[in-house]
Structures are given as C-alpha cells and as structure tokens.
Structure 1
Amino acid sequence: MTANVQALNEREKETLRLLLQGHDAKSIARDLGISVHTVNERLRASRRKLGVASSREAARTLARFEQGTHNSSVGKGFGVAGDHAQENKGHRPDGPRGVKHPAVLAIGGTVIMSLIIAAAMLTWLAPGSTEVGPLPNWSTATTVPAGNTESTNIVQLDGNRLLWNGKEASEATVTEFLAVTRQMHPQPVLILSYTAQTPAKRVQRVRSLVDNAIQCKPGKCLEIAS
C-alpha cells in the first residue's frame, strides 16, 4: 500500500484531501482554480494507482498513510476541515487557491485556538442535564469565533438536517470524518451549532456521536445554540 500511495503526485493528493473534507468535483475545481475535467482525471488516476474502486476509498487510503507517517508536532493537514498542507515548496501553477504554507496554518491555528479558548472561559456553563445543555467536557459560546477557520470543523443541525462544514451529510459520514480528525495533530476544534427549532433529543444524539468519536474536552469541542 505504501508503494501505491507514494505513486500519487502532489496534485492528486490535494484533490483527495479536499474530497474527504466533503467537497464534490465542482467545489474542488472552484477551490483549486482548475476545471472539473481535471479534477475527475486526478481522481481517476488516484483510483488506478491505489487499486481501489471509489475515489472516497482512495482518499481514506491516503489519510491512513499520512496519519501513520506524519510528524507529531506538525500535522500533514489531511483536512476534514481545510487544514491543507503545502506539498510543493515552489509556486503551484494551476491556481492561486487551495494549498497554503504550513507557517500560515500554524499562525492561523494559534489565533483561532486562542479565540476559542477565550470564548470558552467567558461563557462556560455549569454541567446540567445532558438533554438540554452541553456535556460537562464541552465549552460553550454564543457565536462562531470570527477569523481564520483553517483548524475548525463545524457540525450543524438545521432542524433535523445534519451538515458537515455546510454540506448535508449522514450520521455515518460525519462519524467517518470525525474518526479522521481524531488522528490529526493538532486536532481541529469541533463546533456543534444548532437552532432553537432542533429537537432536544436530536441535539443530544449528535452531541453523543461527536463526543464518542473524538473524546471531547474543553477547548476542542465548542457548542453554540443560535
């Protein structure tokens, strides 16, 4: 498997990372500044090199490989939420957007973590019934922290609809994404956002799903009721 993954070029890898973040071919093309045809060609080549039947399985294979080989102090940035790694030291010719420099990610991650920790300290709620309030090991806030969200994933409940970073997803898909983020170093912050119209039992179910998947703690899991 290692030999197969190493056969991937950097552009194929960045495409697979975006796919596992929840992007489709159109949004990947828009994010990277390339055509949908080019995206599909990269995915097709990745499947062939890895010997898998689906592009999503190719993305998971790359994730497992990178999580097993990354440096524990600086993540490879397999971004379930945009924590992109800079694969090329020079300029990437096929578009100005997409992959960012690790130094930028490190600074941005520090800023967002500081904002979230500060918000948690100001808005911390005492533990109460898990049916109506956040779990004791979660932080709370009134709004999503502004600024860089490179190291943040958002699980949103809109009524009974479940969304991952703005895209509708099933509980199984969200669980799959959470399993990947748990292995990342540093682990991205998870924000659970829901509206007043969301049934309390639905909120509690998703709280438990997230908590069981990534073992939340203050500063890593943030709950926002709008």
Structure 2
Amino acid sequence: MIGVGARVLVVEDAETIRTAVVAGLREAGYDATARVDGRDLESELAGYRPDLVVLDVMLPGRDGFTLLGVVRSHSDAGVVMLTARDGVEDRLRGLHGGADDYVVKPFALAELVARVTAVLRRMGRTPSTIAVGDLVVDAAAGWVLRAGTPIDLTATELRLLDYLAAQRGRVVSKAQILTRIWGYTDYDPNLVEVHISALRRKLGEPRLLHTVRGLGYVLRAEPELARRADDTEPGTGLGPGPS
C-alpha cells in the first residue's frame, strides 16, 4: 500500500473531521493517530516520531502556528496545515513558518490524502511506484507500464488506478472510490462503472482488475484469487455477464 511505513499525526479538535481524516489516511495505508490538541506535542514527536503532522490552526490552548514552531524545533516531520480561514495572510504565515502545504476547510478527504502523499513523496518517505504483477504505476511521475509497455490514461483513470494499486489485494467499494476519486458519495455509481470498464480495457490481458460480487473491485495478479472474483459482471457486480 502507498503509505506503508509512513506515520501521520493528526492534531484536530473537531471530532468529525479528526475521525474522518484518520480513517482516510489509514485506508490509504498510513499509520495514523490523532490528538485533540497540542498539549503533549513534544512528547508525541519524541515517542511516535511522525513522518508528517496534519495540524489544525484553530486549536484550544496553543494554536497551530505555535505548534508549527514546536514541530520545526523538535522534528523533521512534514506539516500540512488545516484552517477554516482562507485569508492569504494566514496561508503565508503558515508557509513562511515552515509548513509544507495548506488545506482550507471545507475540503475533500481525497484532496487532503493526496496532499499528504505528495509531501511525503517529496520528502522521500513513501515510494512513488507501485507494482502489481507486471503492472507498474507511478502517479507522481504520471506514467503506467504494463509488461514494459506504456499505457495512456486520462488524469481520472490514473488517479483511480493509483488508488486501486495502493489498495492492491483489497476489495474497495463504489462508495469508497467515489469518495476518494471524486470527493463525494452522492454521484451516480455508474460513474465508477464507466471508468472501471475503460481502465480494464486499457490494462489488457491477463486481467488484473476484477469485480467481487456485491462488494466492489480489486486489483490483483494472483490467478487463483482472480478466478474467484470474476464470476460476476465486471461493470456492476450484480451477476454474470460480459466484460
């Protein structure tokens, strides 16, 4: 998975946001933990040793700008700041203080995870390439190879394949895909089916992208497991049918 080995500390006092961010980071493969404030941040930096800190600006006690200084003086972790304030001065204050990126609330969870991944990749703390069988994906560099041959994908198809590759061997639902790739779950599920079908055609044979009945999709190269998954219509997961 894309985030294996990378530790992310989330400091956010809003429970709904904190829970969603941690869940999204863990789904992407990160070792994520959270705190409601920065009271013990020095101890967390020494004990947990995060690779990156997601830091809210408006916090009880010491605010995010103060805690940014703590991170910079006690750790070499990356920092992505969250704020409900969209003022240029606030963003510049954070960036000049050493933040690596800045995300304004409300935000799509998929965007935040992508920004965390981008910062960690720039820091060299997570691999940029993912291999599944003879398929190699490097979304950061914008290329995909199958058996050494380049595959031309749209930007959306590349994001989708990168997500599936990061979750290789694990089944992901249409709702998870909608949330991660488009940022919402209330889009027409047919949107997922159309892109899955196009991606499957471009990846070619032997098939790597499989449908699991009633559950979703999985990217994997193991032929025995693949045969079990493919007793269902690839586009819908509702029953046997053609590709």
- Tell me if TM exceeds 0.5: no
TM-score, structure 2 as length reference: 0.29
- Structure ranking higher in helix proportion: 1
- Structure possessing the higher radius of gyration over alpha carbons: 2
- Structure ranking higher in strand proportion: 2
TM-score, structure 1 as length reference: 0.31
Q: Identify which of structures 1 and 2 has the higher relative contact order when contacts are C-alpha pairs closer than 8 Å and 6+ apart.
A: 1
